[in-house]
Amino acid sequence: MKSKLMQMLEERKDEMIEIRRYLHEHPELSFEEENTSRYIEEFYKGKDVKVDRKVGGGNGLIVTITGGKPGKTIGLRADFDALPIFEETDVPFKSKNPGVMHACAHDGHTAYLMILADCLIQLKDEIPGTIKIIHQPAEEVPPGGAIGMIESGLLDDLDNIFGIHLLPMGPSGVVGYNSGYVFPGRAYFKLKVQGVGGHGSSPHLANDAIVAGAHFVTAVQTVISRRLNPFDMGVVTIGSFDGKGTFNVIKDSVEIEGDVRAMTDETRTLIETEIRRISRGIEEEFNVTCEMTYTPDYPPLYNNPDLTEMVAEILKNANDKDITEVQEFPKLSPSEDFAHYAKKFPACFFYICCTPKGVEKPYFNHHPKFDIDEDALLVAAKAVGQVVCGYYGI
């Protein structure tokens, strides 16, 4: 079956590119992807599969391919939301929705998986198990679309789940993998510091929220430098300090917003505990009140070591002209809501390189000039197809 599948994918490379370009021209933001969802649903009409739409109350779809023989059930996931970015690329299929752009390659993820799914549908009698194609919305905005897909219950029977991400970390043909905790978890916090306003000439009659907030900004950096094990990864970023006022008026309140990244759940919990402790200390030290909103969103992404080793061996032994190199990648710093699946099912999330040809320093995902080498779409389809065939021994 593997040789048939690879040949079918090669013959449909142009169709993958066509789908990707259509999606790129018509991007939609997270939780607003109704037209994209309908487009994907229309693709599967008339095919011998079960399609569940509006999964989890959102725009997601799950396409169930029931094989000709009983066996394990796996999931293949691709996301399809875009970002609130004004596109600056010079391509003929530029976004027709100003201020919205597929700057994270989700258009490519969806395009490869639609064609791979269609080929698997045609070969399903040879599959000893069930494959669930997970077209997921809203990866970019917490709480993310993965939670709704999981809570639908339609994935409860999964034995394993696989996903990929297109990244410009090498030329098309290079596939990357890593094991264990590979992406950090993420959290958001907002702190409102309430003091007492007054005139700059009479600071003793006021209680300066800016001074208290500034101490908080400085103090939270010690969480990383003085509370974390030096071998653990953690980041606290203050991205917003809203204290604008008049030069000679003491502000009565400020709002501070921040971002937390941590590679393990234990580290993420420790950072939250320490940030809350510092907030309480600021109240006592400056006689202000602090209202803290702390929202953990995406957990750290954990690649099951045994499953990842299997994926790496399958790809290294693929002997495929389009998969030219398989590398172990370092841990990466973005967050991904695929991590929610990986908390529930043994999972492997790996990487398809897509640096445009002739480009030495590519723009990375989320940049307004981000683009991909579209040859990577076939690499993605083949790599995941190879994993499916190797998993089932077909």
* pLDDT for 56: 83
Q: What is the pLDDT along the chain (394 residues), one digit of tens a residue?
A: 999 999 999 999 999 999 999 999 999 999 999 999 999 999 999 999 999 999 988 899 999 999 999 999 999 999 999 999 999 999 999 999 999 999 999 999 999 999 999 999 999 999 999 999 999 999 999 999 999 999 999 999 999 999 999 999 999 999 999 999 999 999 999 999 999 999 999 999 999 999 999 999 999 999 999 999 999 999 999 999 998 999 999 999 999 999 999 999 999 999 999 999 999 999 999 999 999 999 999 999 999 999 999 999 999 999 999 999 999 999 988 899 999 999 999 999 999 999 999 999 999 999 999 999 999 999 999 999 999 999 999 9
Q: What pTM, to 2 d.p., does this model score?
A: 0.92
Report whether 83 contacts 24 (CB < 8 A). no
Distant-in-sequence, close-in-space partners of 270: CB < 8 Å, separation ≥ 6: 227, 228, 234
* pLDDT for 333: 86
d(CA 171, CA 372): 10
Q: List the catalytic residues.
A: 81, 139
d(CA 355, CA 364): 9
Q: Which among 280, 307, 306, 304 is positioned nearest to 294, based on CA atoms?
A: 280
Both tokens assigned to 136: 């997921």
Report whether 10 contacts 2 (CB < 8 A). no
Task: Identify how many contiguous H helices and E strands the chain contains and give both numbers.
Answer: 10, 16
d(CA 92, CA 111): 18
Report whether 276 contacts 216 (CB < 8 A). no
Q: What is the DSSP string of 19-87?
A: HHHHHHHS--BTT--HHHHHHHHHHHTTSSSEEEEEETTTTEEEEEEE-SEEEEEEEEEEE--BBS---
Distant-in-sequence, close-in-space partners of 228: CB < 8 Å, separation ≥ 6: 234, 267, 270, 271
d(CA 169, CA 362): 8
How large is the angle between the packed helices 13-25 and 375-392, nearest 10 degrees? 120
